Structure 1
C-alpha cells in the first residue's frame, strides 16, 4: 500500500467589497487617503488581463481574518472540527505581521489546541509550495490531517499611481484539507499523485516588493509585466508536463487545469502549450483578479461549487510568482 494525501474538503472566502474595473477611472475611494483616479478603462483592463472585477478587504480586515473564514468553510465541507487537524500550512506574502505567522493566528481563531502551524512564502506559487509541504508531512507519517490555506490582502501593497499593476490584484482566501489514506501506488489512487517545484533567484528583480527590513519601509509591489509574461507560459507548461511525466501521465489524461489566476492570456497560452482546450480550464480571474497564493485554492473551491471538479477527476494545478518560484501538483480528486 502507498500513503496518499487525499482531499476531503475545500472552502473559500472573498471580502464583501467588489471593485469593478470602471471604478479605477471613475474614482476609487477607501483604499488610500485620497480618491484614486487612473487613466484606464474597463476595456483596457479586460483586454490585457481578462479581469472584470476583484474583491478588496475592508479596513481592519487582515489576511488571517480571510484565511480563518476560508478555513471554517473547508472544515464544514469536510465535516470535521479544528481539533481534528494536525497542522495548518498557510501560504501568504501579506501576513498580518512580520511575525508571528498568520497560520498561528488562524490556529488560535479556530480554537485548535494541538498540532502546529506555519507560513510558507513563495508569492503566487505559495499554495503549490504549501501543498507540496503538506503532502510531504502526510506521506512521511508526521501528520494525518493538514489544512492548506492560501490567503492574501494584496490591496495593501499596491502603488495606486501604477495603473499597470494596481488594477490586476485582489484579496481573498481559499483552503483545502488533506487526509492520510492508503492507495495502491497507481495513478488510479485518489489524492496527490506528484509535485514539481522550481525557483531561480536570478529573476528576482522582475517581480518584487521594494520594502522590508533592508529599507525599513513596507514597500509596494513592482513588476515588469512583459518579462513575467515571457517566463510564465513556458515555465508553467514545463512544470505541469514535468509533474505529469513523473507518474507517466500526459495532458490527454487530465480532466482539469486549475492554474494560478493571474492573466487570461497566460492561462490560455499555457493550455495551448499543453494541447488542451479552455473547456478543460477552471477560470476565476475575471471575478477575482490576481489573488496571488489564494488564487488556486479559490479556484479549486469555486470549481467544485460550480460542479466542474468531481470526485475521481484528475487535476493539474500550476503557478509562478516572484522569486521566480514556480511549480505544479497533480491530484486525483
Structure 2
C-alpha cells in the first residue's frame, strides 16, 4: 500500500521594513515629479530605505527576529535556508549563509536564489521540492532586498518605484488538505533587456550597453506583467485543480497598482481580494510577497482554510505562481 503523500505549507512568518520612511515628497523636491503623479501611476505613497549599516542579510535577520518574537520555537528543526535576493551582501558567502549565522543556524545548508521579483515564489518551490524529496525537514525561506542601493536615485523612472524590506517563512509538514498545491514558473531572457541589473558583463547578449544601476523599460515591463499575471494564475489554478471562484486572496508582487487592478479585472476578482500594501513600501522585489503575506496574516485578513494564489513577476524576465491552502 502506497503511503499518503505528505503536505507541506507555511508554519511561521516574519517581516521587517527599515525605519527610514521616504515619502513621494522626497522625490518631488529634486525630480520632475509630484506626489499626485507618483500615486496616480503606481499607487505608491512612500517606501523604506535601509540605513547605512543595513544590508540584505541584516534585513533578513530582522525579519526572522520578528517571527521569533511571535513564535519562539519557529526555527526548531530548520536544516535549510533559501534566500531570494537580487541585492545580496556579496556573491559569496551567500546572503542565506549570513542570515543563518545571524539567527543561530550556523552550519545548516544555505544558498541564494536570484530571480528578482519572482524570487520568493521560486524559493518556496525549491523549499517545497526539498521537503517533498525528504532532503530537508524544515526550511527557512527569506526574501530580502536593499533596492535603494542598486537604483539610481536621480532616475525618475526607477527611483520612485523601489524600496527596501524583508520577509520570511518557515516551511514544514502540515495536515492533509492544507499547504502548497501547485507551482507555475518560467523565464524568458529575450525580455531581459527591458529589466536588468548589471553583473560582470558590460552588455547582455544581443542587448544594450548596461550601466551600474537597475534599468527598466517601464512600458514593456507593464505589458509583460499584465499578461503574465493572468497566464500564470490560470496555469497554477489548472495544475491545482481549482478555478478562479476558489480564490479567497490573490497575493501579488507589489509593483504597480494598475497591474494588480488589471489582474483582478481579468479574473473578475474584487480588488479587496488582492492583498495590497505597495502604498507603504513600493516595489521591494523579492521581499514584496512575503511582506504583503505577513502583514495580511498578522492583521487577521488571511485565516486558516483560505485559498491563496501567490504571483510574482520581474527581471529575467521571470514569473512564478503558487497555489496555497493556508494553514
Q: TM-score range by the shorter chain?
A: over 0.9
Aligned to 1:274: 267
Tell me the number of residue pairs that the alignment of Structure 1 and Structure 2 aligns: 317
Give the secondary structure class of the aligned counterpart of 1:2. coil
Q: What stretches of structure 1 move > 3 A for 4+ residues in a row?
A: 75-79, 215-218
Q: In 1, are the aligned partners of 2:163 and 2:282 still within 8 Å (CA)?
A: yes
Measure, in 1, the Cα distance between the counterparts of 2:282 and 2:62: 19
Matched, 1:247 2:208: no
Aligned to 2:161: 168
Aligned to 1:45: 38
Length-normalised TM-score, structure 1? 0.92
Aligned to 2:20: 17
Aligned to 1:192: 180
Aligned to 2:199: 212
Aligned to 1:159: 152
Q: In 2, are the aligned partners of 1:53 and 1:286 still within 8 Å (CA)?
A: yes
Aligned to 1:62: 55
Matched, 1:258 2:261: no
Closer/same/farther in 2, CA of residues 83 and 108 from structure 1, 3 Å limit: farther
Q: CA deviation at 1:257?
A: 0.3
Gaps of 5+ in 2: 204-209
Q: CA deviation at 1:87?
A: 0.8
Root mean square deviation, CA, Å = 1.5
Range 232-241 or range 288-297, more displaced: 232-241
Length-normalised TM-score, structure 2? 0.94
Deviations 1:4-30 (A, max 9, x none): 21211111000000001011122xxxx
Deviations 1:216-240 (A, max 9, x none): 9981010000000001011111101
Q: CA deviation at 1:115?
A: 2.4
Closer/same/farther in 2, CA of residues 258 and 138 from structure 1, 3 Å limit: same
Measure, in 2, the Cα distance between the counterparts of 1:72 and 1:269: 36
Closer/same/farther in 2, CA of residues 125 and 251 from structure 1, 3 Å limit: same
Q: CA deviation at 1:75?
A: 3.5
Aligned to 1:310: 303
Q: CA deviation at 1:77?
A: 3.6
